[in-house]
């Protein structure tokens, strides 16, 4: 008999783990049985068609990760080295990294405190007062760089306020690239996130709403941009036989094996989103009336994927700050996670410009995401809720 003083692995409650099921085994086995395991194959096409249908876009191009999707989206949208791209101050670092991969500069725009999305008022104010136009080119007054694109993120699966963001962007002729890495299944005024701007990017990383093991997708209605993204993602082959290349391309392809898993997960998307929304509602109900705990409500017209159930803890009212809560939960085998360091504070992005950022800092001090896996059982969730309740009472 094996004994251990460590809690059994099954006793740990992870933050967001994949739920593999449905046709995963069948599809992956088909790859293995037929030998189509690499970067060509029927599952890549089927996966792309399914994601395009879900996103309501004409095209979808599968790539190796959400980050590479963002990188290519910036390139096909015409963002050039030295340009500036407006990015929310609160997001996963990959959003800003992709801008740097394209040789451009992120400018960090603060978020609004209620739904934690890029603040459209800050954005409009920056474009109006922080920029000037010369010879038809919009430039940042401080840096004199060309401002080329806005990259809203549907953070935590809540739709960003796209109507005012698009209005501000269109007024100045900026391209709108949606980082929809966390928002597959989310809708804004009935329309899928990722389909509202010029081009959208999705992630199929292991902790996202659905996974391909790893992977990404570019969705757009523009055939020329989709074609260009495909070209760049496959080493920019002009003549594959003669080995001629017309640009500096990338190996950003997704394999048929990953696409097989991804397709099986797309068939479970609705179930996963339902589960995540149910989990979030259960937390919200349990924390109702608990002092110092606030959820993130859905905005009007928004349908959130609720990628992670995130709550804001007020140290004075709740009695502990989010660091202490995080540590106490960890002690009980419950994984939780703060939101990311605001990007204007990031050493990796030192020296970039910012438009505000105080809200992002305050949110970061208070936010903690709780276990949100689609496979989280009621019993597990009860354990999390009891743990939080015990901390509050203490």
Ligand X SMILES: *Cc1c(COP(=O)(O)O)cnc(C)c1O
Binding site for ligand X (CB under 6 A): 65-67, 91-92, 94-95, 153, 179, 181-182, 203, 205, 216
Least separation in angstroms between residue 118's CB and ligand X is 12
Least separation in angstroms between residue 114's CB and ligand X is 19
Task: Compute CA distances 10 → 6, 161, 377, whole Å.
Answer: 11, 39, 12
3-state secondary structure of 134: strand
Alpha helices in 184-255 (DSSP H): 223-233
Least separation in angstroms between residue 131's CB and ligand X is 25
Q: Which is nearer to ligand X, 95 or 265 (CB)?
A: 95
Q: Which is nearer to ligand X, 251 or 377 (CB)?
A: 251
- CB of 152 closer than 8 Å to CB of 123: no
Least separation in angstroms between residue 187's CB and ligand X is 18
Least separation in angstroms between residue 390's CB and ligand X is 31
Q: Which is nearer to ligand X, 143 or 207 (CB)?
A: 207
Least separation in angstroms between residue 286's CB and ligand X is 26
Q: Which is nearer to ligand X, 85 or 387 (CB)?
A: 85
Return d(Cα 313, Cα 293) in angstroms, integer: 5
Return d(Cα 248, Cα 239) in angstroms, integer: 14
Question: DSSP label at 340?
Answer: P
Question: DSSP label at 91?
Answer: S
Q: Which is nearer to ligand X, 162 or 388 (CB)?
A: 162
Strands 244-245 and 237-239: antiparallel
- The tokens describing 10, both together, are 């099954």
- CB of 109 closer than 8 Å to CB of 88: yes
Q: Which is nearer to ligand X, 205 or 381 (CB)?
A: 205
Q: Which is nearer to ligand X, 50 or 203 (CB)?
A: 203
Least separation in angstroms between residue 235's CB and ligand X is 20
- CB of 371 closer than 8 Å to CB of 334: yes
Q: Which is nearer to ligand X, 155 or 294 (CB)?
A: 155
Return d(Cα 318, Cα 308) in angstroms, integer: 21
Least separation in angstroms between residue 364's CB and ligand X is 15
Least separation in angstroms between residue 340's CB and ligand X is 9
- Percentages helix, strand, coil for the chain (3-state, rounded to 5) are 40, 20, 40
Return d(Cα 220, Cα 201) in angstroms, integer: 9
Q: Which is nearer to ligand X, 99 or 275 (CB)?
A: 99
Return the half-sphere exposure (C-beta side, CA atoms, 13 A cut-off) of residue 175: 23
Cβ-proximal residue to ligand X, closest one: 66
Alpha helices in 35-186 (DSSP H): 42-55, 66-76, 94-101, 120-129, 162-171
DSSP run (H or E) holding 266: helix 256-266
- CB of 96 closer than 8 Å to CB of 75: no
């Amino acid at each position: 008999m094996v004994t251990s003083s460590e809690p059994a692995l099954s006793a740990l409650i992870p933050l967001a783990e994949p739920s593999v099921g449905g046709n995963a085994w069948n599809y992956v086995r088909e790859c293995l049985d037929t030998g189509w395991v690499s970067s060509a194959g029927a599952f890549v096409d089927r996966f792309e068609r399914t994601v395009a249908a879900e996103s309501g876009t004409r095209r979808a191009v599968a790539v190796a990760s959400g980050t590479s999707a963002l990188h290519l989206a910036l390139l096909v949208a015409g963002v050039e080295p030295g340009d500036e791209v407006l990015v929310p101050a609160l997001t996963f670092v990959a959003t800003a990294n992709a801008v740097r991969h394209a040789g451009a500069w992120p400018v960090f725009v603060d978020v609004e405190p209620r739904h934690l999305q890029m603040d459209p008022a800050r954005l409009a104010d920056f474009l109006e007062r922080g920029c000037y136009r010369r010879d038809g080119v919009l430039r940042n007054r401080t840096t004199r760089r060309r401002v080329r694109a806005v990259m809203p993120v549907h953070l935590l699966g809540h739709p960003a306020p796209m109507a005012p963001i698009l209005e501000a962007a269109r007024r100045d002729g900026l391209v709108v690239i949606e980082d929809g890495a966390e928002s597959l299944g989310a809708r804004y005024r009935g329309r899928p996130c990722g389909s509202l701007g010029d081009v959208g990017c999705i992630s199929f990383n292991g902790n996202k709403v659905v996974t391909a093991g790893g992977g990404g997708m570019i969705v757009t209605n523009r055939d020329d941009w989709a074609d260009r993204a495909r070209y760049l993602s496959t080493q920019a082959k002009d003549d594959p036989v003669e080995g001629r290349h017309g640009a500096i391309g990338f190996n950003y392809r997704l394999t048929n094996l990953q696409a097989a898993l991804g397709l099986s997960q797309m068939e479970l998307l609705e179930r996963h989103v339902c589960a995540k929304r149910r989990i979030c509602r259960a937390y919200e109900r349990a924390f109702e009336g608990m002092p110092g705990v606030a959820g993130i409500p859905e905005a009007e017209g928004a349908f959130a994927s609720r990628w992670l159930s995130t709550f804001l803890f007020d140290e004075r009212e709740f009695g502990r700050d989010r660091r202490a809560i995080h540590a106490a939960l960890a002690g009980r085998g419950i994984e939780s996670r703060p939101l990311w360091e605001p990007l204007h504070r990031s050493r990796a992005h030192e020296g970039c410009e910012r438009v505000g950022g105080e809200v992002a800092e305050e949110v970061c001090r208070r936010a903690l995401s709780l276990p949100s896996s689609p496979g989280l059982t009621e019993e597990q969730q009860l354990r999390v809720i009891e743990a939080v309740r015990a901390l509050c009472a203490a």
